Structure 1
Amino acid sequence: MNTSQNKKRENPVRLTTSVSVELSPSLTAAMLTQFEEDFNRESAYVSAMNAAVKNGIGASCIDYEEIRFCQNNFSISLDAGQVTNQKQSGRCWMFAALNTMRQRVMKKLKLKNMELSQNYPLFWDKLEKSNWFLENILATLDEPLDGRLMHHLLADPVADGGQWDMFADLVKKYGVIPQETMPESFDSSATKDLTKYLTLKLREWAMRLRDEHVQGKSQNELRALKKTMMSEVYRMLCISLGKPPASFTWETRDKDDKFIRISATPQEFFKKYVGMKLDDYVSLINAPTKDKPFYKTYTVRYLGNVAGGNPVRYLNLPIEDLKKAAIAQMKAGESVWFGSDVQQRFLKTEGLLSVKAVRPDLLFDTEFPLTKEQRLDYRESLMTHAMTFTGVNIADDGKPNRWRVENSWGKDVGKEGFWVMSDEWFSEFTYQVVINKKYLSKKQHDMLEQKPIELAPWDPMGSLAF
């Protein structure tokens, strides 16, 4: 864009003052004629149109100077193994969590690379989410069917997505296993059909439980009926994903080609070879909205997957506190699970998350001025995807300027699957990091003891990472 066009962007909404254009509630022929004349008057608009029509909006608003700045090298970089691939599934939250855990197994057993089974927790998550859904139906039998709560509960009862606390509950109950002991199935790598048929059954059963309630059945009778429903869910999952092992034997070789054989239950394997004290890990969020004051803890009503598990819990802090905690954890050699809105200002092929690398304001000659607070309030942005921080670049002034991201979209994007995030992008579109409590200040520790404020089920902080 030339200098004159840059000046125009300071006031992108230009009202036509021509008396020939009446201020009608509908789009008149005179208005359309004026719009076309305004467009044709700017040669830059015509050039932008030619570029976008031929190459698409995304390719036409890339700032290549920013790409050169965002190098895929970092002053702090952790050995993370080879990048994983969630394929056609919404299991990023599982992949990100398992990626943090497998690093511990690799270190303990001196392995070049390994993966923990992502199919195994998927099985248990679908089973537990089905049970969670039916329990929520039993708890809301007298709610109006056309009310907002029932609409929310029925909308997507066994979606693939999840939260850190939900994954922690699965691991506490079922443990983890190496990938070879329950490898991917067709439907674990492409979950659309499985989710579709489970959802169909769950909505049918929600209707039946509500109808039986109207007919006077007791809670015990309804829960007995629910048990038969859960048996069907288990059958459907075994057919689609395979039966999860109660115990297994895993054989591999370490970096020095030494043969290793391990026989264990999933819970034993987690305790001995992962060894994370899951209750020590907490979710810090950055939600700078007026309804969520900083330094308070929050939970979300009806958000979860394991009946009887721990509720999802967040501590809301300024964004710089999230960065400081993440850097401290990585300096100690441990990667960081985080959640962000990955579809905002990203270049997939380059594996780059940068506000300055994607410039629709230059292409369209209009500003996009919403703040992080406004984007949350007006549903423009929320957490949609979980990944893992495995490094950060600390500049000469002691501040971070870019972050190393381990994604789960395979090795064909970014640098062997590892992405770069600018620090500005972190501030604008990262919403959550999971941190060991030992990296928090005493003041932050004390904040965790507050009784959490309960948010509505449809609050943006109730979103799931896919």
Structure 2
Amino acid sequence: MSFTITPAQLKAFQADYQAQSQNRVLERAVTKNGVRNASFDWHAQAANDPHFSIDLATGDVSDQKQSGRCWMFAALNTMRHDMQAKFNLPDNFELSQSYQFFWDKFEKANYFYENVINTAELPHDDRKVAWLMATPQQDGGQWDMMVALIEKYGVVPQSAMPETYNSSKSREINEVLNHQLRHDAVILRQLVNNYGVEDERINQTRQEMLNRVYRMLALAFGEPVQSFDFEYRDKKSKEFYRAANLTPQEFFTKYVGWDLDQYVSIIQAPTADKAYHQTYTIEMLGNVVGGRPIKHLNLPVDEFKALAIKQLQGGESVWFGSDVGKYSETKLGLMDLNTYHYEELFNTDLTMSKADMLDYGQSMMTHAMVLTGVDLVDGQPTKWKVENSWGNKVGTKGYFVMSDAWLDQYCYQIVINKKYLSEELLAAQAQEPHVLAPWDPMGTLA
């Protein structure tokens, strides 16, 4: 049954609007100031003062600028926090995000080619093929993808591979690279369908394609450093140190020293298709072919938060992914469900459960940051300290405050050291994961 809007109905709508005198006042406020400014509630700012009972020392905030590298920044920030504590590095020390960016895009190109070949016999308008072609590669990622990069390529200090125009402003290289990858997909699909997936011409062509991608990325980001000297001055003792001719893998082993197998992804996805205490992976999601696969353990929100608190109490910051744009005020660095009162402004009902928001596309993980503190009252969290990667001109020198209720609603992923998991959770995490569709919301990239 169709429903056509008639002139009589429009008149009724207009009469209803004009009969409510407050609408004229609201109309003037909203048209002049915008929806967010007109619905902003300063009480949310007052309720989230930036003081915390657990507050880790973490140094200066970094800045991803005009790129989608938040997941890299967040991961490298958790590692540099540990390095700064161990070696008394200066507050502005950073690990090179540009180095990881190069290798991520290079590996994502190869991962894309792998998926193209594996789906070559499907029609071009099949949903999986269309999903691949919509975004052959992008800036975003997840924790396990970062682990795959580090295990293969190591890390370097930012002094060894600094930022470039294209690492800080990635739109231009993304446009050209995705054009190239779609161009290559046409060729690979034709080769598979003409000669079969085992034909040697496919591997030879793929190698030529990867050689071209390497050249494109080297021109955009600079060629990745293979060895370097690491120099620093202990900010307490003032003693100077130099380690010469390090490889990126040696630097990671000597100065970061993490056992990355100990850090696992925990998700909070209350949808009907994802049982708690089960593990999940996502089809066709990753970056390094043969590298660490995506694996998530799904937990109820109270267990989810308890693990984050344990890790903070243990002195370790926490990588996390959330839908940062929801009810968030960037300049103030405020994430609170009461930041904006859209329902009161528009006299409507916007209530949706967390599960419904995921199922119906209203929310998904969009941004990764780092938990560096929490305020506990009678053992329960009321608000959380968040290290962002948008520079020091927003929030409190780059740090945000997130209410506990906001975390409940819009936080979807944390990374936890296995030592904080109970025996039961360790057993659950060790399970073989259920495979989710490529477009599942838990497969979105921060």
Give the TM-score of the pair, scaled to structure 1: 0.93
The one of 196, 199, 219 aligned to 1:219: 199
Distance of 1:27 and 1:93 partners within structure 2: 46
* Partner SS state of residue 250, structure 1: strand
Which of the numbers 268, 274, 287 marks the counterpart of 1:286?
268
Report whether the alignment pairs 1:401 with 2:382.
Answer: yes
In the other structure, the counterpart of 2:171 is 192
- Structure 2 distance, partners of 1:413, 1:49, is 30
Report the counterpart of residue 334 of structure 1 in structure 2: 316
Q: Distance in 2 between matches of 1:448 and 1:197?
A: 39
Which of residues 23, 27, 36 in structure 2 aligns to 1:49? 27
Among 243, 249, 252, which residue is 1:262 paired with? 243
Name whichever of 161-170 and 256-265 sits farther off: 256-265
1:79-101 CA-to-partner distances (Å, cap 9, x unmatched) read 11100110110000000000001
Q: What amino acid maps onto 1:135 in structure 2?
A: E
1:105-116 superposed matches below 5 A: 105-113=83-91, 114-116=93-95
State the SS of the aligned residue for 1:179.
Answer: coil
Q: Provide the residue aligned with 1:180 in structure 2.
A: 159
Residue 132 of structure 2 is aligned with which of 125, 130, 153?
A: 153
Structure-2 separation of matches of 1:339 and 1:388 = 9
CA distance in 2 between counterparts of 1:45 and 1:438 reads: 56
User: What is aligned with 2:374?
Assistant: 392
Give 1:253's aligned residue.
233
- Is 1:234 the counterpart of 2:232 in the alignment? no
Give the drift of 1:48.
1.6
Instruction: Tell me which moved more, 260-269 or 82-91.
Output: 260-269
Shift of residue 250 of structure 1? 2.3
Q: Distance in 2 between matches of 1:318 and 1:212?
A: 47
1:300 aligns with 2:282: yes
The 1-side partners of 2:440 and 2:21 are apart by 44
Task: Say whether the 8 Å CA contact 1:121–1:176 is kept in structure 2.
Answer: yes
- Is residue 2:18 matched to residue 1:40? yes
Match of 1:244? 224
1:378-420 CA-to-partner distances (Å, cap 9, x unmatched) read: 111111110000000001x220000000000111110000000
Question: Partner letter of residue 146 of structure 1?
Answer: D
* Structure 2 residue aligned with 1:25: 3
Letter in 2 for 1:432: Q
Aligned residue type for 1:413: V
Aligned-partner Cα distance in 2 for 1:179–1:387: 19
- What whole-Å deviation, never above 9, does each CA across 1:126-147 have from its counterpart, x for those lacking one? 0000011111112122111110
Query: Among residues 37, 44, 47, which one is paired with 1:66 in the alignment?
Result: 44
Look up the equivalent residue of 2:180 and give its one-letter code: K
* In structure 2, C-alpha distance between the alignment counterparts of 1:325 and 1:331, rounded to whole Å: 10
Aligned 8 A contact 1:74 1:391 in 2: yes
Match of 2:413 in 1: 432
Q: Take 1:155 and 1:36, find their aligned partners in 2: how far apart are those partners?
A: 41
Match of 1:93 in 2: 71
Letter in 1 for 2:334: L
Separation in 2, partners of 1:382, 1:160: 16
Q: Which residue of 1 aligns with 2:189?
A: 210
Letter matched to residue 79 of structure 1:
A
Deviation at residue 262 of structure 1 after TM alignment = 2.2
One-letter amino acid of the counterpart of residue 232, structure 2: T
Deviation larger for 368-377 or 256-265: 256-265
Kindly indicate whether the alpha-carbon contact (under 8 Å) linking 1:104 and 1:273 is maintained by their aligned counterparts in 2: no
Matched, 1:168 2:168: no
Structure 1 match to 2:304: 322
Structure 1 residues 219 and 79: alpha-carbon distance in aligned structure 2, compared to 1, 3 A threshold? farther
Structural mapping, 1:425-464, within 5 Å: 425-464=406-445
Q: Which amino acid aligns with 2:88?
A: K
The reply to whether residue 352 of structure 1 matches residue 373 of structure 2 is no
Contact 1:345–1:354 under 8 Å retained in 2: yes
Secondary structure of the 1:368 match is coil
Larger radius of gyration: 1
Shift of 1:447: 0.4
State the alpha-carbon separation in 1 of the partners of residues 72 and 393 from structure 2: 20
Q: Give the whole-Å Cα distance in 1 for the aligned partners of 2:209 and 2:286.
A: 20
Partner SS state of residue 199, structure 1? helix
State the AA in 1 paired with 2:205: L
Question: Structure 1, residues 312-363: CA drift from partner, whole Å, max 9, x if none?
Answer: 0000000111110000001111000000001111111111110012111111
Residue of structure 2 in register with 1:381 after alignment: 363
The amino acid that maps onto 1:219 is D
Q: 1:24 Cα deviation (Å)?
A: 8.7
Distance 1:361 1:248, change over 3 A: same
Q: In structure 2, what is the Cα distance between the partners aligned to 1:112 and 1:129?
A: 33
Distance 1:378 1:215 in 2: 40
Q: Output the CA distance in 2 between the equivalents of 1:24 and 1:90.
A: 42
Partner residue in 2 for 1:4: none
Which consecutive unaligned segments of at least 5 residues does structure 1 have? 1-22
Q: Secondary structure at the match of 1:181?
A: coil
Alpha-carbon displacement from aligned partner over 1:3-62 (angstroms, at most 9, x marks no partner): xxxxxxxxxxxxxxxxxxxx9922222222221221122222222211111111111111
Q: In structure 1, how many angstroms separate the alpha carbons of the residues matched to 2:195 and 2:339?
A: 61
Matching residue's letter, 2:64: Q
